[in-house]
Chain A
Amino acid sequence: MATKPKSSKKAPTKTGKDEILKYYRDMLLIRRFEEKAGQLYGMGKIAGFCHLYIGQEAVVTGVQACLKDGDQVITGYRDHGHMLACGMDPKGVMAELTGRIGGLSKGKGGSMHMFSKEKNFFGGHGIVGAQVPIGTGLGFANKYRGNDHVSVAYFGDGASNQGQVYESFNMASLWDLPVVYVIENNMYAMGTSVDRASAETELFKRGISFEIEGEEVDGMDVLAVREAGERAVKYARSGKGPYILEMKTYRYRGHSMSDPAKYRKREEVDDVRSHHDPIDGLKKHILEAGHADEAELKKIDNEIKAIVKEAADFSLESPEPDPSDLWTDVLKDAEVA
Chain B
Amino acid sequence: MSVDILMPALSPTMEEGTLSKWLKKEGDTVSSGDVIAEIETDKATMEVEAVDEGTLAKILVPEGTEGVKVNAVIAVLAEEGEDAGSVEAKKKPDSSPVPETEKKDEAPASEGAAAPEAPEVKVLSDPSIPEGTSFTETTVRDALRDAMAEEMRRDENVFLMGEEVAQYQGAYKVSRELLQEFGDRRVVDTPITEHGFAGLGVGAAFAGLKPIVEFMTFNFAMQAIDQIVNSAAKTLYMSGGQMGCPIVFRGPNGAAARVGAQHSQDYSSWYGHIPGLKVVAPYDAADAKGLLKAAIRDPNPVIFLEHELLYGHSFPVPDLDDYVLPIGKAAIKRQGTDVTLVAHSRMVGFALEAAEKLAEQGIDAEVVDLRTIRPLDTATVIESVKKTNRIVCCEEGWRFMGVGAEIAATVTAEAFDYLDAPPARVHQKDVPLPYAANLEALSLPNADDIVEAALKVCYVK
Residues of A within 8 A of B (CB): 72, 74, 103-110, 113-117, 122-127, 130, 132-142, 144, 151, 163-164, 167-168, 170-171, 174, 328-335, 337
Contact = CB atoms under 8 A, between A and B. Distances in A.
Interface stretch (B71-79, B190-198, B430-438): B190-198
A170 B193 contact: yes
B190 A171 contact: yes
B275 A330 contact: yes
Interface string B171-214: 00000000000000100001101011111111111111100000
Contact of A123 (B190, B235, B240): B235
B324 interface: yes
B11 interface: no
Contacts of B196: 133, 136, 164, 167-168, 170-171
A332 B247 CA distance: 12
Interface hub of B190, B207, B297, B300 (most chain A Cβ within 10 A):
B207
B197 to A, nearest CB: 7
B199 A329 contact: no
Contacts of A171: 190-191, 193, 196-197, 200
A135 B207 CA distance: 10
**Residues of A contacting B: mostly:** loop
A280 to B, nearest CB: 36
Contacts of B206: 122, 134, 137-138
B236 A332 contact: yes
A109 B300 contact: no
A137 B202 contact: yes
Nearest to B159: A144
21 contacts: A105-B239, A106-B241, A113-B235, A113-B239, A115-B238, A115-B239, A115-B242, A115-B243, A123-B239, A130-B231, A133-B202, A135-B203, A137-B205, A151-B203, A171-B190, A171-B191, A171-B193, A331-B276, A332-B299, A335-B299, A337-B293
Given A137-B204, A138-B204, A329-B236, A144 B209 contact: yes
A136 B199 contact: yes
Given A123-B243, A330-B275, A134 B237 contact: no
A134 B300 contact: no
Contacts of B65: none
B285 to A, nearest CB: 19
B199 A105 contact: no
A130 B206 CA distance: 14
Given A164-B196, A330-B276, A337-B297, A106 B202 contact: no
Given A133-B196, A331-B236, A337-B294, A117 B243 contact: yes
A25 to B, nearest CB: 27
Nearest to B185: A144
A105 B243 CA distance: 10
Q: Most chain-B Cβ atoms within 10 A of its Cβ — which of A135, A142, A168, A328?
A: A168
A133 B239 contact: no
B88 to A, nearest CB: 56
B278 interface: yes
A331 B375 CA distance: 11
Contacts of A132: 199
Nearest to B375: A331
B298 interface: yes
Give the interface residue-count category, chain B.
35 or more
Contact of A108 (B231, B238, B297): B238
B126 to A, nearest CB: 13
A71 to B, nearest CB: 12
Contacts of B243: 115, 117, 122-123
B83 interface: no
Contacts of A328: 241
Contacts of B244: 332
A110 B227 CA distance: 19
A122 B198 CA distance: 16
A167 B327 contact: no
B204 A144 contact: yes
Contacts of A115: 235, 238-239, 242-243
Nearest to B241: A329
Contact of A331 (B231, B239, B300): B300
B134 interface: no
Interface in B291-340: 293-294, 297-300, 322, 324, 326-327
B32 interface: no
Contacts of B82: none
B230 interface: yes
Contacts of A334: 294, 297-300, 327
The 8 closest A-B pairs by CB, nearest first: A137-B203, A133-B199, A167-B196, A106-B240, A141-B207, A134-B203, A113-B238, A105-B240
B226 interface: yes
Which one of B191, B205, B208, B237 has the highest number of Cβ atoms from chain A below 10 Å of its Cβ?
A: B237
Nearest to A114: B239
A142 B204 CA distance: 9
Contacts of B276: 330-331
A116 B241 CA distance: 11
B53 to A, nearest CB: 44
A86 to B, nearest CB: 14
Q: Which of A136, A137, A144: most chain B Cβ within 10 A?
A: A137
Contact of A332 (B208, B300, B327): B300
A151 B204 CA distance: 11
Nearest to B197: A171
A163 B278 CA distance: 28
Contacts of B204: 137-138, 140-141, 144
Nearest to A108: B240
Contacts of A110: 238
B207 A137 contact: yes
Nearest to A136: B200
A271 B280 CA distance: 58
Contacts of B227: 130, 133-134, 164
